[in-house]
Amino acid sequence: MTKRRHRVLAASALKGGVGKTTTAVNLAAASARAGHRTLLVDADPQGSVGTSLGLAPEARGLAAWIMKDAAFDESVVRAARENLDVLPAGERLLDVEDLFREKGKEKRRTRLAKRFEALEDEEYDVVILDCPPAASLLLENVYHVADELILPAKLDFLSLPALEKTRLFVKEENASREKPLRIVGVLPTFYDLRTAVSTELLDTLRERFTKILTPIRINVALAEAPSVGKTIFEFDGSSRGAVDYALLAEDLKLA
């Protein structure tokens, strides 16, 4: 059987609360709605992806699958939405750090990639990973699996140093990869047209980074949707958030 080519994207930033989960969830939703068979992976021990989609807490998930305690089929939530499977974080995702640390320098980074190799015949068109906000072995594993990286950056004055840190981390990771991880772009989030700081920061980002994706505006619907377990498209398809994430998905050729 020929191997089906799929895209693997991760939303990552070495900073909390910048819109990583919101971006991963809603991009995965847009991709699934466009008819792509999509897998959304929660690689953050906080486990926000499952909650955001209104899924019941899952004991196994990514944690059990990485540790080989469970098969993929027993770990994944099938058809969380049409065309969308979700691999929740699972209860013991924090414990994988210790497990990875027991391995040699190379093996500890490629554990997740090894598990993904077994997924080939699952035939996903698109895999999207939500990342934890701090550097860890788990994050290094995600960087080994992903081909494309989206860097959400909240438009406040602390975003620049965090972006530089993230860029450095990607550079270090790339040193040990055969095929470089591609930064598809910095994604400005919480864009507020009314504030000068938002506009100034956006200008600065454009000066410093070659690829700036279309900004996601600040939108209360984006904050409300996960609290009722809905994607932005289910919660309010005409909201700014829905419009912005639909545009982003088109930009990234996911929809």
Ligand X SMILES: Nc1ncnc2c1ncn2[C@@H]1O[C@H](COP(=O)(O)OP(=O)(O)OP(=O)(O)O)[C@@H](O)[C@H]1O
Binding site for Mg ion (CB under 5 A): 20-21, 48
Q: How far is the CB of 104 from Mg ion (least distance, A)?
A: 30
Does 83 sit near ligand X (CB under 6 A)?
no
Minimum CB–partner distance for residue 128 and ligand X (Å):
13
Region of 130 (left: φ > 0; alpha: ψ -120 to 50; beta: rest) is beta
Sole binder of ligand X in the list 7, 9, 12, 22 (CB under 6 A):
22
List the single partner that 16 binds among Mg ion, ligand X, none, CB under 5 to 8 Å by kind: ligand X
CB of 20 to ligand X, least distance (A): 4
Identify the H or E element spanning 84.
strand 84-87
Stretch binding ligand X (CB under 6 A), from 32-40, 80-88, 211-219, 228-236: 211-219
Q: Which is nearer to ligand X, 18 or 64 (CB)?
A: 18
CA 82 to chain CA centroid, Å, is: 19
Q: How many residues bind to ligand X according to rule CB under 6 A?
A: 19
How would you classify the pairing of strands 38-42 and 126-130? parallel
Which C-beta is closer to Mg ion: that of 48 or that of 198?
48
Quote the least distance from Cβ 131 to Mg ion, whole Å: 8
DSSP one-letter code for 215: P
Residues 39-58: x/- map of binding to ligand X (CB under 6 A)?
Answer: -----x-x-x----------
Segment 84-143, which members bind ligand X (CB under 6 A)? 133
Q: Could you give the C-alpha distances from 32 to 72, 126, 190, in angstroms and in order?
A: 20, 9, 24
How far apart CA 20 and CA 29 sit, in angstroms, is: 14
How many beta carbons lie within 10 A of that of residue 211, not counting itself?
A: 12
CA 84 to mean position of chain CA atoms:
14
